[in-house]
Structure 1
Amino acid sequence: MISIEEWSAHLTPRNSFFELKGLVSSGGRVADGREQRVQDDVGFWRVSYSFAIRNRAQALAYRALLTRLRAGENIVAKVFDAYGVTVTNTAATPSASVAVDAELRATTLNMWTMGLDLEPGISFSIGNRLHRITEIVARTAGSVGTWSDAGTWNDAGRWMDAPAATADGWEIRFMPPLREVIDAGTVVDFINLQCLCVIENVTDGDMDLELGFFGDPTLPLIETI
């Protein structure tokens, strides 16, 4: 498996795309023009990168990456999303975790978050599996501690310049369904999105270099289940 650290050392996509595909298949159109559609809730992610090859290190790194993909290796694709989760000021380190065990193929999830504001359309990763929120079912806002003046002032005590915050509770719906059983306490990542993929077609990704030096190859990937 090709890790993010391996391929991103010399390669940074100039353009990227990720979208959920394969949720509907067509049974073809009948004589009156109507189309029979078969709904499939599994789907798969399609991730595409465009790389700017401008030097020797980039060219060699891309060639090695493409060869390994064509030989059948999986790749952990880094997903770039400029419209991702909103980080709030309620916690110094934003974090999220699963609150209740979730079964294989589940499409609802209970989680705890600190410093994150969730909305429909936001994507998240559990391990190297990518998902997208489709609906916020419920939210329980965390509480923030309040100052108390009931006690006497103690000069020896440590000054706390902010009260402690507690986690927000969420119930969400998402797609695609979970690819495996998820235990309570599992980390949910809204910041560093990633998806386990393979090359879409073994003939994809050719690097056509102008004057033998410069090129902008496109590398299409699809999620491997």
Structure 2
Amino acid sequence: MTIRWPCEVLVPRDVAFDIAPRSLAGPASVNGATQVVSSDAGIWKATYGSIVVNNRNAVLAHRAISALLEGRLGSIVVPLCRGYQPVPEGAVAAGLYDQVPHSDDTLFDDGTGYVSGVIDVTAAAPAALRSTSMTVTVTYAGDIQPGQHFSLGERLYRIRTYDPETGTMTFRPPLREAALAGDRLEFDDPVCRMRLASDDGMDLQLSLRRFGTPTVQFIEDV
């Protein structure tokens, strides 16, 4: 199972997720013209900037992730926040995102409870590998708009267009894996499976051996 970045312990102040196009360019001609050929595939790159490392748990968690990843060898699930997603109006106020305890009102040993998804969007029909569009069924969601994200499994996608009349959605990058009818599009907690962009990406410099604000860069694990 792929490990997940613990945003509750290692909180990034600055977050960037972008699709880096894959392009090739030949040498420039005598008049300076250059031909560039780009693939539609693209690859995700992400940056967690100024991560708050200010206590024992954060320091040890950062070191543990570094040891588990072993530079660019290991992969990690990197989550986005729920901001700007199609959260249904009133869902937060109604407590739909609150953690739920056990039947005896107790929580797990780490103080957390059960959490379930709220936004309910599923694939209405199968979509083939490398597809850039699909038809979806929206059971419960707010306004779905271009620029929002969803994930299928551990693969992340960004919406380009959405037609609520037909349920047709286009997105980038192309599907990394085929989707089946009924597969849930994860809007509440979109994630992307990634690797460190460099082998020294988890280096940690601590001020007075106690505090740090490292920046970690990731690239999609394709």
Question: TM-score band (shorter)?
Answer: 0.7 to 0.9
Structure 2 residue corresponding to 1:119, chosen from 123, 142, 145: 145
Secondary structure at the counterpart of residue 59 of structure 1: helix
Secondary structure at the counterpart of residue 41 of structure 2: coil
Separation in 2, partners of 1:28, 1:55: 51
1:202 aligned onto 2:208: no
CA contact (8 A) 1:7 1:65 kept: no
Secondary structure at the counterpart of residue 6 of structure 2: helix
Separation in 2, partners of 1:29, 1:67: 44
1:130 aligned onto 2:131: no
Letter in 2 for 1:224: D
Separation in 2, partners of 1:180, 1:220: 24
1:222 aligned onto 2:213: no
Separation in 1, partners of 2:39, 2:148: 21
- CA pair 25-194 structure 1, distance change in 2 beyond 3 A: same
- How far 1:9 sits from its partner (Å)? 5.2
Separation in 2, partners of 1:64, 1:28: 45
CA contact (8 A) 1:107 1:173 kept: yes
RMSD: 2.1
CA contact (8 A) 1:16 1:80 kept: no
Q: Greater shift after overlay, 193-202 or 117-126?
A: 117-126
Which structure: larger Rg?
1
Letter in 1 for 2:47: S
- CA pair 171-126 structure 1, distance change in 2 beyond 3 A: same
Separation in 1, partners of 2:85, 2:25: 31
CA distances 1:13-50 after superposition (whole Å, capped 9, x unpaired):
22211100134333343332322111111111111112
1:63 aligned onto 2:63: yes
Secondary structure at the counterpart of residue 110 of structure 1: strand
Pairwise mapping of residues 148-187 of structure 1 onto structure 2 (< 5 A)? 170-187=167-184
Please identify runs of 4+ aligned residues in structure 1 that moved more than 4 A.
none
Letter in 1 for 2:154: N
Aligned position for 1:24: 23
Separation in 2, partners of 1:55, 1:62: 11
- CA pair 177-25 structure 1, distance change in 2 beyond 3 A: same
Q: Greater shift after overlay, 186-195 or 202-211?
A: 202-211
- CA pair 209-106 structure 1, distance change in 2 beyond 3 A: same
Aligned position for 1:14: 13
- How far 1:86 sits from its partner (Å)? 4.9
Unpaired stretches in structure 1, ≥5 consecutive residues = 141-168
Separation in 2, partners of 1:134, 1:9: 30
Separation in 2, partners of 1:23, 1:54: 38
Aligned position for 1:95: 120
- How far 1:206 sits from its partner (Å)? 1.5
Letter in 2 for 1:67: A
Secondary structure at the counterpart of residue 40 of structure 1: strand
Aligned position for 1:83: 84
- CA pair 80-34 structure 1, distance change in 2 beyond 3 A: farther
- How far 1:109 sits from its partner (Å)? 0.6
Q: Percent same amino acid at aligned positions?
A: 29
How many residue pairs match? The answer is 194
- CA pair 189-18 structure 1, distance change in 2 beyond 3 A: same
Separation in 1, partners of 2:137, 2:215: 38
Letter in 2 for 1:87: P
Aligned position for 2:46: 47
Separation in 2, partners of 1:33, 1:80: 44
CA distances 1:185-206 after superposition (whole Å, capped 9, x unpaired):
0000112110001111112231
